[in-house]
Amino acid sequence: MAAGTACESRLAQQFHLHLHGTKVVSAGFFVDMGKGRYRVTGKVPTSAHLSHAESYTCVVASGPSGLSVVSFHLKRTT
């Protein structure tokens, strides 16, 4: 889904990750919030090479130029 891709891109930018065709985030749940907004939650797997486990919540909205991330939050899980 495009919302998951937008969130993955934001995570890669935030942590300067190079995806090289591999999936960095695990999209756990997609919630349609209505009015073209979606909430995506999931976990950042250890293959992302972060120093600790993270979970994320990302809200994406559709607009004239496609989907854009309106909020992105990471939370340490360990």
HEC states along 35-48? CCEEEEEEEECHHH
Q: SS3 of 40, please? A: strand
CATH (domain of 10): 3.10.450
pLDDT of the residue at 38 = 92
What is the residue-averaged pLDDT of the chain? 77
Q: How many domains does the chain have?
A: 1
Domain residues for the domain of 30 are: 2-76
Considering only residues 55 and 14, tell me which one the structure prediction assigns the higher pLDDT: 55
Query: Sorting pLDDT into bands at 50, 70 and 90, what band is 1?
Result: low
